[in-house]
Chain A
Amino acid sequence: MTGTGIFVRTFLRRDRWMLFWWILGGTVLYFSQAPSVDATYTSQAEFDTAAASMEGNVALIAMTGPARALNTVGGQVAWQAMAFGAVVAGLMSMFIVGRHTRAEEESGRDELVRSTAVGRYAPIVAALAVAAVANVLMGVLITLSLLGYGLAVAGSISIGLALTLTGLTFTGVALVAAQLTDGTRAMYGITGAVIGVAYVLRAIGDVTENGLSWLSPIGWGQAMRPYAGELWWPAVIPVVATALLVVAGLALFGRRDVGAGMWAARPGPARGRGSSLGLAWRLQAGSVIGWTLGVFLLGLSFGSIGNDVEEIMGSSDATAELLQASGDLSAAFYAFAIVMIALIGSGFTISSALRPLGEEDAGRVEAMLATSLPRQGWLMGHVSVTVLGTAIVLLAGATGLGLGFALVTGDSGAFARYPEAMVPYVAPVLLLAAVARLLHGVVPRLAFLAWVGLAVCVVVMFFGQLLSFPQWLIDVSPFSHLALTPAEDARWGPVVVVAVVAAVLSVTGQVGFRRRDVLTT
């Protein structure tokens, strides 16, 4: 264990910003529910009606958790935040453990570090310690922020504790996963799958009330019933599970070679038929599939609210203003949902647009460009993934929305309505990709600024009307110029203009890439 302290300090130093954002994000996720619930309902009677409607909505229960004390602010906070909060803590733990164990081994840096006077278990124990610190901090901040808002003491402690314990359980899962394979991506895949299964198990369990939720770490946290007659004994389950997982993970680590996984690396094909285009798709396939599924599920959950929009969203002015609704709240909500899906799907688009830069940075482009493959051809392979992948991801979200809506309401017209409403939004999303391409081609060192473009669009969309932004600022976002389909009829003029601007920026970026030095290591 020699050197554990040094590792802990180094990891905390390396991770300080990452941890800051994760912990802040998790805390805001919980805290923000409280004022938003208070602002949504103008009277307790309205609140009671909404709560009754929510309790009967199977889709919402599947998304969030068992309906308890929904006509109280605390009950709403717990209901709306705990399932997502558990996923946030799980992902944070996974990344902390992964980046200091398996990723270091895969890169070979671990070897250099291990050649110094450090104990065999020092780096791994330090990674666990950092993950534990992060989960405890997030739990404590959630408790303190909700106490500060004036919610009940027992419930606030329970909800923070539940978050910490769930996060620790997933830390244990990540630790075991890191011992199984020799690839970091595979380790993230396994841990992510466990988190996903935990989420689905509790969704089925919460809807059918057949006890399945007791098999899910997320369900364990929710079984503590914050703000709804707290139970404390369920806390024992994640504590025991974490202890078992950590012991198992350390035992596996003790039995394997550094750099190897418990599962021997399988040999792959000795021959390949790939082309540059095929390679671009192969490298990005995981991302396209993951985002498509994720955004589809997001759409499904929006759609499954069905016609209960009014009851759930309340009829306060704030709601109406956010949705820019003049008349039909339900139609306005779904038009807003389409924009939300488009903005979230932009995450895929920008990361995909920056993938060629990542390949360049990793030094994998040099050998390819020293063949008869023109630069333009190499880049076009990735551009094709970005463009087609964006269409796939966005339409998957809209299809999920239509499917969810149709299942809940029986309105089969929804199948076509929402995908059609999504089509115009492909243009502004691709404009964000074009900004990334321009930066990549002309000033690659500033390419990360492409994410700022998305941030601007999100802020304008959510706060532009609410905070009365100046018109020029609202106009900066390409999303502002489009009709709010399907609440309004599509206007194709602005769509064409946005698409042309996107094409011009993208081509300029591609020309820039052809004219600049390839980044070399």
Chain B
Amino acid sequence: MPGVGAVASYGRRMDDVIDIRGLHKSFGSTQALDGLDLSVATGEVHGFLGPNGAGKSTTIRVLLGLLRADAGTVRLFGGDPWRDAAELHRRLAYVPGDVNLWPTLTGGEVIDLLGRLRGGLDERRRADLIERFELDPTKKGRAYSKGNRQKVALVAALASDVELLVLDEPTSGLDPLMEAVFTECIDDFKDEGRSVLLSSHILAEVERLCDRVSIIRSGRAVESGTLADLRHLTRTSVAAEVATQPSGLEGLVGVHDLVVEGHRVLFEVDTDHLGSAIDALGRFGIRTLTSQPPTLEELFMRHYGDDATAEATA
């Protein structure tokens, strides 16, 4: 497991399927991406998180060669996604955030069209996915709901024989049962050693599926690493009951928001200093102890909060 330092320094590895450094992209006077870094290693499921308008979809479109980078380097399978778009696209499948279908084509026709354009579909998998997602492939594009349009794109993507899935909020229209099917499908995909870039707002899904996550805000990556790494960067809540009246805890490195009520102690501690804080607490005789690792939700809130920009630039 790479340490915090390795995460922060963003070591380039040869086996990264996606490697973006210092990516800038603006639309007119709007700065959409402002020096974004992102790397996805082969075989990992990478969560891509950020508030609305943070630049997730723009990043993905640059990665697909639909938009041209203003500055920075973007490598997809080691190649240039702008110059070699079609060639590189043979090896990936994409599900857009907004799936727009042709009103007169049926879902089945769209799946076959996209599959053929990617270089072929696995027939057995296609049939299996249609059944698992309970998709009616004979309906016309205009008759599908948002969730069903998404299923069309998902079936087309998952039935293709590719090395990388690029998914832009793929489950935002799916019901919980279908979300579970999606999770299974991604697990299967990952078990075959293939990679996924998953942009999502559903934190439970990210927590369940992703090996690493990148959190972006205002066009920049503010945090990146495994969930364990990210937890190191945040605080753990500790609640304890001790035998004797505690004192001197205020002075401990990394302890915040300390509350002492008689023999009860509540505080937050930087996860790196958890050990020393518990040692200090032990001197007063621990009777009960609960410690709560930070949830992804808290990580998220911390980076989305108004003070996040200040912290990120600090």
B102 pairs with A283, CB closer than 8 A: yes
B142 pairs with A182, CB closer than 8 A: yes
Q: Is B75 an interface residue (CB 8 A)?
A: no
Closest Cβ of chain A to B210, distance in Å, is 21
> With a CB–CB cut-off of 8 A, which chain B residues contact A366?
61, 64, 66, 94, 96
Give chain B interface residues in 109-158, CB to chain A under 8 Å: 109-114, 116-119, 136-140, 142-143, 153
Determine the residue in chain B with the shortest Cβ distance to A368: B117
Bound: A78/B108 CA distance, A = 53
B138 pairs with A367, CB closer than 8 A: no
Closest Cβ of chain A to B139, distance in Å, is 6
Bound: A271/B116 CA distance, A = 12
> With a CB–CB cut-off of 8 A, which chain B residues contact A276?
113, 117
Q: Is A268 an interface residue (CB 8 A)?
A: yes
> With a CB–CB cut-off of 8 A, which chain B residues contact A267?
106, 136, 138-139
Give chain B interface residues in 147-202, CB to chain A under 8 Å: 153, 166
B114 pairs with A268, CB closer than 8 A: no
Determine the residue in chain A with the shortest Cβ distance to B92: A370
B112 pairs with A274, CB closer than 8 A: yes
| Contact residues of A: prevailing secondary structure | loop
Contact with B along A233-274 (1 / 0, CB 8 A): 000000000000000000000000000000001011111111
A269 pairs with B100, CB closer than 8 A: no
- Interface residue from A272, A273, A364 paired with B100 (Cβ < 8 Å): A364
- Interface residue from B61, B103, B113 paired with A272 (Cβ < 8 Å): B113
Bound: A81/B65 CA distance, A = 54
> With a CB–CB cut-off of 8 A, which chain B residues contact A282?
104-105
Given contacts A362-B100, A518-B61, contact A268 B106 (CB under 8 A): yes
Give chain A interface residues in 144-195, CB to chain B under 8 Å: 182-183, 185
- Interface residue from B68, B105, B116 paired with A275 (Cβ < 8 Å): B116
Bound: A103/B50 CA distance, A = 35
Closest Cβ of chain B to A280, distance in Å, is 11
B117 pairs with A372, CB closer than 8 A: yes
Contact with B along A101-135 (1 / 0, CB 8 A): 00000100000000000000000000000000000
A367 pairs with B112, CB closer than 8 A: no
A518 pairs with B113, CB closer than 8 A: no
Q: Is B228 an interface residue (CB 8 A)?
A: no
Given contacts A371-B118, A372-B90, A374-B85, contact A270 B143 (CB under 8 A): no
Bound: A122/B89 CA distance, A = 49
Closest Cβ of chain B to A261, distance in Å, is 11
Bound: A211/B142 CA distance, A = 43
Bound: A16/B96 CA distance, A = 36
Closest Cβ of chain A to B175, distance in Å, is 19
A268 pairs with B100, CB closer than 8 A: no
Given contacts A369-B66, A372-B117, contact A271 B102 (CB under 8 A): no
- Interface residue from A183, A375, A377 paired with B103 (Cβ < 8 Å): A183
> With a CB–CB cut-off of 8 A, which chain A residues contact B104?
183, 185, 282
Closest Cβ of chain B to A259, distance in Å, is 9
Q: Is A279 an interface residue (CB 8 A)?
A: yes
Closest Cβ of chain A to B61, distance in Å, is 6
Q: Is A500 an interface residue (CB 8 A)?
A: no
Bound: A238/B289 CA distance, A = 87
Closest Cβ of chain B to A21, distance in Å, is 27
A374 pairs with B109, CB closer than 8 A: no
Bound: A18/B85 CA distance, A = 41
A363 pairs with B100, CB closer than 8 A: yes
> With a CB–CB cut-off of 8 A, which chain A residues contact B100?
362-364, 367, 521
Given contacts A106-B142, A265-B139, A516-B68, contact A521 B98 (CB under 8 A): yes
Contact with A along B16-59 (1 / 0, CB 8 A): 00000000000000000000000000000000000000000100
Closest Cβ of chain B to A154, distance in Å, is 49
**Residue among B61, B64, B106, B117 with max Cβ neighbours from chain A (10 Å):** B117
Q: Is A520 an interface residue (CB 8 A)?
A: yes
Give chain A interface residues in 272-322, CB to chain B under 8 Å: 272-276, 279, 282-283
> With a CB–CB cut-off of 8 A, which chain A residues contact B61?
366, 518, 520
| Contact residues of B: prevailing secondary structure | mixed
Q: Is A24 an interface residue (CB 8 A)?
A: no
B108 pairs with A370, CB closer than 8 A: no
Closest Cβ of chain A to B134, distance in Å, is 14
Bound: A377/B86 CA distance, A = 10
**Residue among A265, A366, A369 with max Cβ neighbours from chain B (10 Å):** A366
- Interface residue from B89, B102, B103 paired with A372 (Cβ < 8 Å): B89
> With a CB–CB cut-off of 8 A, which chain A residues contact B92?
370
A270 pairs with B89, CB closer than 8 A: no
Determine the residue in chain A with the shortest Cβ distance to B67: A517
- Interface residue from B85, B101, B153 paired with A369 (Cβ < 8 Å): B85
Bound: A142/B110 CA distance, A = 49
A364 pairs with B101, CB closer than 8 A: yes
> With a CB–CB cut-off of 8 A, which chain B residues contact A521?
98, 100
Closest Cβ of chain B to A148, distance in Å, is 46
- Interface residue from A182, A271, A279, A516 paired with B108 (Cβ < 8 Å): A271
Determine the residue in chain B with the shortest Cβ distance to A375: B85
B112 pairs with A268, CB closer than 8 A: no
A520 pairs with B67, CB closer than 8 A: yes
Closest Cβ of chain B to A392, distance in Å, is 21
Closest Cβ of chain B to A382, distance in Å, is 14
Determine the residue in chain A with the shortest Cβ distance to B110: A272
> With a CB–CB cut-off of 8 A, which chain A residues contact B108?
268-272
Determine the residue in chain A with the shortest Cβ distance to B160: A371
Determine the residue in chain B with the shortest Cβ distance to A373: B117
B138 pairs with A268, CB closer than 8 A: yes
Given contacts A183-B103, A272-B105, A373-B86, contact A367 B94 (CB under 8 A): yes
Q: Is B280 an interface residue (CB 8 A)?
A: no
Bound: A282/B102 CA distance, A = 11
Pairs across A and B, CB under 8 Å, 27 listed: A182-B142, A185-B103, A267-B138, A267-B139, A268-B106, A268-B108, A268-B109, A270-B106, A271-B108, A272-B108, A272-B112, A272-B113, A273-B112, A275-B116, A363-B98, A366-B61, A367-B95, A370-B166, A372-B89, A372-B90, A372-B118, A372-B119, A374-B85, A375-B86, A517-B66, A518-B66, A521-B98
Top 7 closest pairs, chain A to chain B, by CB = A272-B109, A267-B138, A371-B117, A370-B94, A268-B106, A270-B108, A374-B86
List the interface of chain B (C-beta within 8 A of A).
Answer: 57, 61, 64-68, 85-87, 89-90, 92-96, 98-106, 108-114, 116-119, 136-140, 142-143, 153, 166
List the interface of chain A (C-beta within 8 A of B).
Answer: 106, 182-183, 185, 265, 267-276, 279, 282-283, 362-364, 366-375, 377, 515-518, 520-521
Question: Knowing that A272-B106, A368-B113 are A-B contacts, what are 8 other residue pairs whose CB atoms are under 8 Å apart, sorted by A's residue number?
Answer: A183-B103, A268-B139, A366-B94, A367-B153, A370-B94, A373-B86, A373-B117, A517-B66
